[in-house]
Structure 1
């Protein structure tokens, strides 16, 4: 399967970019709208709070002037009734100022708390929007790291698999994967499931008479894979002969400029020390490594939960980088969107073609209006985030600017989809 531009020129990405673009616009515009609302609410709240503070300051200044005048006049009169009057006026006025001060502080605290709660809800929705996008979207991947732990609870076992994806432009995402969606991962896996006939010189043979420990050949085909961590240049693997027993083997492999190297450890065996792996063992374990990597391919398609997303190594959500994250994706997508638009035969659509191995082609198209409509709820500042995509240039000529901001909620993500059309050309 390969993809082509609408004019049949080769498309550089190996997936349906239009589907990713559609989901991105639905999620990203909502994220930007939420951020705009949050900032506007914070601005309005700050203005109201400042107005209250100014009013309180004016009242306190007025109170000071009045009290000084009352006290000065009472001192001049020097009569008990006048002094009592001045005292009661001062007490009443002071209570009034104190009550007003408490009211101002209380109102500000309530509004700050309300803003915090509203922002938490918005942040939660932003996270849900970004997670929903990243779970279904396709992004170029520079490197992938996968980790697995076999969780054992009595007779029940399940594979806990996580993956970290390094994407272009400093983006990294981490997901918990749903291994149960893949039949091969529904039960504990043996080494033979990945590479049969794996013989390793890693066994421990103890001589009680001589007090020595020597290595022996072991066939690990029936050993269970209990955990692994794999990347492009590293592989760590733990296997057990029996899940209920402590005996296990731990392998650590590294691939560098000098080639492949590795060590084996025997957790729980006091007399066994880490030992360097020989070339035959390295070759056998490299075969297991590549087989495990290939077997993980199908599981990578089943993203269950977003664990983390970072931008240039900084967390997007905790670091307040939601908008920079959207901007980074817009920058990544913009050249592709513009090139697709330029090569699409219909001025009202973005189109690609997918070609099967047999040469049959289908057209994938996305109406431009489906994307520009996502801009409707945004202010001019919000629309500016998406300016590099060139969407405003798609608005019909009778309109000189995108539609005005509306108060209604945006269309739910996924309300429109790319539609395949048969194309024999």
Structure 2
């Protein structure tokens, strides 16, 4: 399990089983928290410190005990009875063994091994899911921090212009309409800043829960801005093949299908005989005259298939196998679609974020510089300059939202290839991008 998850996310994955391992994990977490977290260190802290993940590893340990239990031969049953009356005494001892269970032990052991492999993959899937959730929460929290910083500066500017508008209104140099516009911009910016701060606090708390942090560890530090965009997007021409090959939930479904095939073979092999017990008997009898004699033998019990020859059980096992096969096929189709869509969202969010970085923001900067030159030469008024400044702030807000959407889409792409993502993560990323970009442009 640790090899699968560790190779995929390239982080240390530890199932804590001793005091020494717990202390080592705690020391590693405290060392990572001494500096500002990046996305990789945040994921590592979550993998070492999240107790829900450790509970998933406990379930894996329980599955291992089931494997050991199913690999053992059935225990014999020993019974002893004593019957007396009329001066005679009879003592009987029996040792009963389930021959059918012993004969089918190889089948059951193989099925148990496949079930344990499934449990290993489920634990790996939980590991990948936690890593994906941590990445998404990290980008949300850092993006909220960046938005708070921008709106804090915007509020200071809006407050200054609102005061200036009020003074100009007192002298009659500014009409009430323009005064109201400046006042409402300041009021809206104040409300937006309050909302952004609340979003930043909620995002930070969500991240803290995933990292398993509490008490003194809640003072962990995050960057104030999101990471810069990569110089070029990843080219993944074989995204569908990669997803079908590496998705852990598909591997789980394949193993389930194999286990059901083994179970179907077992059902067909034992369709006519469902009970076969053999008992060894040792009986000692003493008659009223005191003469003892001893008898030994055996007893066989089996079920006679008069009313049913196992057709129902075989039919049930066949339908269960066919059901698993159809679900595996459906999942493979869905995985390919999810991978294609995740890559399209990844590329489109990269293009949008890059468009803001390379085109929109530089052009807005040029406009502001030109307006400042016109203002200095008395060719434009102060409020015309402020209007362009607001437009640039709106573009900055939309740029932050687009950059955050890209990093969320990159996380979703990793989940689409390896597994562990949520079903609606890609739709959520796309809707969040549209809503925030639209909201930013309306200021």
TM-score, normalized by length of structure 2?
Answer: 0.23
Please say which structure displays the higher CA radius of gyration: 2
Bigger helix share: 2
TM-score, normalized by length of structure 1?
Answer: 0.24
Bigger strand share: 1
